[in-house]
Structure 1
Amino acid sequence: MGHQWAMAQTDTSRAKDLQGVEVKAVRLETLTSKSAMPVTIINRKTLEMMGSRRLDEVMREQTGVNIVNDIAAGSRAIGMQMQGFSSDYILILIDGQPMIGRNAGNFDLSRITVSDIERIEIVKGASSSLFGSEALGGVVNIITRQKVNATQGQAILRYGSQNTQDATLEGEMPFAKEKGSVSLSGNYYHTDGYNVNSYLSRGATAPPYDSYSLQSRLRYRLSNVHQLLLSGRWALRNSQNESVYSSGQTENSTKDVLSESDVNASAVIQSSVSKRFRLNSQYYLTRYSSSQDVSTGKQVALKANDFTQYFHRLEEQFLYTPSDKLSFTGGAGVNLERMNDTEFHGGNDMWSGYAYAQGDWKVLTKLMARIGLRYDHNGFYGGRLNPVAGISYNVSEKVLLRAAVGTGYKTPDFKKRYQVFTNPQAGYTVLG
């Protein structure tokens, strides 16, 4: 990646590391303590040592994960495969909330910067009882910093090969006698891309792009029982790539312009009703938009695509632990999705509902058993009930055996349902 330089500043004359955090949320805990499958945790210190700045770079370093490019998205959609499942069946979460904006089922990992991340949890295997069948292959949960103990700030600047520029500015502070905290971070990323095609005289097989992101979160303790969490995220990526292919005296060129953005917002009320019973009441909204225009050197313009998707989620979750050996996790929610694009005027709605429950029983000191049940219902495709069961056994402090079995129910997403995408490398557009 070339040489990198970093610079850090704080609110005092002496530099200091950002403080650690404590995460307490039903959904976030489900990955590490409620999954029957192996869980890999990448903490902040490891991320800094890796030097990776985008999510696809982090995942390339993980065993059992295969990074693939989606050819239909013009080499921009960098997805992954786990446990033999394609990207369609791998769920990407930020603080327990799903990310949208897939191309033919593929989620582009390079869209996400790893700045302001406390840790990344990776579940390699089915987690469909808690997260739905998008998690049949696995789950990647990105957890940002949640709790702030001191006023502090940090600025980081990195530079690498391929004219890679990465700048991050972060700040956070507690308020109201530490009853609340607020944080804000911004990131800029640029790369010139690279070329591995000998027939490409100009341009890049991995296109250049500029990426901007801004995110903020607020945490406030309303009482000894209730806590309010508000978060927001905005991201924008612009890319322009003109490819010129040379063969003898002949040159063919293609110009591909892509702009995509996503906005996420969530409001969560965490309620510790008692030591054994907790609730999460949450609303989540995300908007993903992309605009792509492809033209050839012969002044032949392919169909321009403008795509916008809205995703609303309202969910209630609970965690009940009647004893030290028994616990129950469950919840219910409803999703509403709306799409607007250049071909389907007036929008299209797709709604779905779900309910799930999972019980965990500590049979012996080293043996844990769990069983779960989930029901999903889609407005277009109907519903289905799916069970899952698993066991885990601690052979020793360093060896843990896990096994699970279950079924899932997967419906096509908007772009698969309506087949709206452009392949700039092959030079065609699919509509309908």
Structure 2
Amino acid sequence: MKKYLITCLLLYINHSLVAHAGDMETLVVTGTRAEISQAQSPVSIDVISAAQLQQVSQGTLASALNYIPGIVTKRNAKDGYTVQMQGFDGDHVLVLLDSQPLISPTGAAVDLDQISVVDIERIEVLRGAASVLYGSSAMGGVINIISRKQRKNRLTMHYQGSSYANNAIDSGDIAHQLQLDVNQQLGVWQANFNLQKIDDPGFDYDATSLAQSAPSNDKSFVNVGLSRQLNDITLGLKSRYLSEDKYKVRYALPGQNSNIGYLSKVNQWQQDVSLSQAQWWKVQGRYIQHNETSGDSNGLRDADITLAEIDSQYQWSLDSLDFISGLVLHRDELYQEKHPNSPSESATIEIDNKSRNSVEAYTQAGWQWDEHSLLAGIRVQQDSDFGWHSALRINSLYNLASTDDAQWQFRAGVGQSYRVPTLKERFYIFDHSNLGYMVLGNPELQPETALSSNLEVSYQRSLTEPSKHLSLSANLHYSKANDFIATLTDVEASSTSGLLISRYYNINQAYIKGLDLTAKLNWGELDYQLSYSFLHATNNKSEHLSDRPTHQIKANVNWQLPYDFNALAYLVYESGEYPTAEQVGVARDHWTSLNLNISQQFNQNWRWNAGIDNLFDNHQNSNAIAAGLLDVRPLSSRRIFVGMSYQFY
């Protein structure tokens, strides 16, 4: 039955919820750092709107980004979520909020489950090398979260309840999500306040075992913003707070009554200040303080992570060239200590107030003739620990033969990118000697670099009516990366100590190439999308890189029904991952997930929605994972949800 449903859906589905032909043109900023029409951007940009996010998310970006073609989301060892793009993992994909970076609690990968969707206007996705505009870590691409601008006065409240069918820890456990969003004009200030509360009991595949599959999770997001116009100058002030509390039981201590569990307690504060004049210039400042206690309950660690950045940008012209130049001052700090094993011991300092600073400058020039454009840029960075770095990039857009109702476009780009090793990768000491292993940083790490290229051909056509539109695209990408950072076993240290000791090392090269195909069709009240991605990633020994699917299919259909009903179905299929050196075999190398959502707008004020995530309840086999086998299915569960929203103007 499952195979029949998948086959029918793939045959039937072939445009996501993107804007219809004839709707207002979408403006994007990520590819050029200045507003430009999405259709005329020389850098290919995918966009997901706030309305789409609310449909496909469960309150955070963790599940929402899996809706975008070519993006792979992964659950990490800390039960957070990271992203992959064009074969680069989360450490090599830069996640931004309003074009500035966020804290990365693990390595360089931002946890998507620590980003609320409440205050988002849209998300822009740039694939490929982007270090020229965004610096370190933008090797596989950029995910830029654009927060909401000024809005008219309104109040929005939303509640959603959900249950993990089949895998609930207790039959009465219900997950709760509450959102409150207020916009109000206060004199000359436009004020915004939003609150989101998520209470998730977690789930368990085997009620007879002590270990819990997914942790309970209690999350709070609070955002406060003020903005005002001073003639043609815009001043913005924002304050954000995140509180997260996770816990799951892992195992029992022999001969003792206590259990060992994994826990994570996070408190994060973020302060933003911005000053801008239309598109001519802007200055943004950001300060983030991230405090986290995490680990097994018998081996906890405190980590204090700080990020501070000032980003200034100026737009200017010279003859037929348009320039954007910027200067960035950046600082990272990290302190980490391990809790004592007994009250008589003191805490062990593992990373003692390490820091790094960088000064970065970039310039990008754009030239447009007829309907074609060329974009070229350079960035230089002076790093306190690694000295000078630079990156070059060139992109072009060529509009091929076009008519009133059809258009061919060709985009090409080639660029350099780099990533500076994080403080954690260099100085980390993860001592679990009581469990037989350690993970150590490596102060001798060198920066990673890559040379990447992208070629895209797209075709758009209006079909008989403005409300009927077809879009096809094919994107080829290739990257050669040098000095890739990986975690490898230190054989000599392991044999001497009797422990399994792993360290961060630079490996020689990685070669990543792939193909993304996307078909989108709007047919009146129906929107369809079908995408296929192929990936081939190896090291210099022709060995396949692990944890990356070779094949991915994403399909969705969105149907506007009578009486203001809306129905959405979207499917994800991935296959062809390769095991790591530590895994002894393959239990399952493919998986499929189907998600359903239906909603109705009662009137101007009331709206309800309901649905099922992971309809097939396709998930990992805990026994296979414990046996050291590869099982690529996600750590997830079938989830049934229902919600209600009220909006007052």
Residue 264 of structure 1, CA deviation: 1.0
For 1:233 and 1:91, the matched residues in 2 are separated by 20
Q: CA RMSD in A?
A: 3.3
Q: Tell me the secondary structure at the aligned position of residue 418 of structure 2.
A: coil
Contact 1:31-1:39 within 8 A present in 2 as well: no
Contact 1:200/1:244 (CA < 8 Å) preserved in 2?
no
SS of structure 2 residue aligned to 1:417: helix
Alignment of 1:316-395 (within 5 A): 316-321=312-317, 326-342=321-337, 343-344=349-350, 347-365=353-371, 367-395=372-400
Return the offset for 1:409.
2.3
Q: 2:135 aligns with which of 132, 139, 159?
A: 132
1:63-112 C-alpha deviation (Å, 9 max, x unpaired) = 101112223x3xx1311110111111111112222111331333211111
Note the C-alpha offset of 1:200: 7.4
Match of 2:241 in 1: 234
Query: For residue 380 of structure 1, what is the amino acid of its counterpart?
Result: D
CA 1:34–1:215: 2 relative to 1, 3 Å: farther
Change (3 A) 1:235 1:259: same
Written as runs of structure 1 = structure 2, the 5 A alignment for 1:188-227 is 188-196=197-205, 201-222=209-230, 224-227=231-234
- The aligned counterpart of 1:101 is 104
**Contact between 1:170 and 1:185, CA under 8 Å: does it hold in 2?**
yes
Rg comparison, structure with higher value: 2
Aligned twin of 2:416: 407
Q: Decide whether the 8 Å contact of 1:31 with 1:123 is kept in 2.
A: no
Corresponding position of 1:255: 261
- Which secondary structure state, in structure 2, belongs to the residue aligned with residue 105 of structure 1? coil
- 8 Å CA contact 1:166–1:189 kept in 2: the answer is yes
Does the CA contact (< 8 Å) of 1:22 and 1:147 recur in 2?
A: no
Contact residue 304 and residue 336 of structure 2 kept, 8 A: yes
For the Cα contact (< 8 Å) 1:28–1:96, is it kept in 2?
A: no
Structure 2: give runs of 5+ residues left out of the alignment: 1-25, 165-173, 338-348, 442-649
Shift of 1:375: 0.5
C-alpha distance 205-236 of structure 1, shift in aligned 2 (>3 A): same
Whole-Å separation in 1 of the counterparts to 2:260 and 2:373: 57
Q: 1:312 matched to which residue of 2?
A: 308
After the TM superposition, which residues 298-309 of structure 1 pair with which residues of structure 2 at under 5 Å, given as runs? 301-302=298-299, 304-309=300-305
Pair 1:308–1:51, CA change in 2 (3 A): closer
Deviation at 1:175, TM superposition (A): 3.2
Partner in structure 2 of residue 3 of structure 1:
none
Instruction: State the TM-score, normalizing by the size of structure 2.
Output: 0.55
Counterpart contact for 1:102–1:415, Cα < 8 Å = no
Report if aligned partners of 2:303, 2:336 keep a CA contact under 8 Å in 1: yes
The answer to whether the 8 A contact 1:370-1:389 is kept is yes
Distance in structure 2 (CA, Å) of the matches to 1:207 and 1:403: 44
Deviations 1:152-193 (A, max 9, x none): 1111000112332110011011233xx430100000012122
Paired residue type of 1:175 = L
| Structure 2: distance between partners of 1:40 and 1:315 | 24
Structure 1's consecutive aligned runs of 4 or more residues displaced over 6 angstroms after TM superposition are: 21-26
Tell me the equivalent position of 1:165. 176
Deviations 1:202-253 (A, max 9, x none): 343322211101001111112x23221111110010011112489xxxx995
Distance 1:81 1:403 in 2: 22
Q: Percent of aligned positions with the same letter in both sequences?
A: 23
Is contact 1:22–1:146 with CA below 8 Å preserved after alignment?
Answer: no
For 1:47 and 1:110, the matched residues in 2 are separated by 14
Count of aligned pairs: 391
Q: CA deviation at 1:33?
A: 8.6
Contact 1:393 1:402 in 2 (8 A): yes
Residues 100 and 423 from structure 1, CA distance in 2 versus in 1: closer, same or farther, beyond 3 angstroms?
farther
Q: Give the equivalent residue in structure 2 for 1:10.
A: none
Per-residue CA deviation, residues 353-405 of structure 1 (Å, 9 max, x unaligned), is 1000111111331x211100000121111111211111122345565332211
C-alpha contact 1:173 1:182 (8 A) present in aligned 2: yes
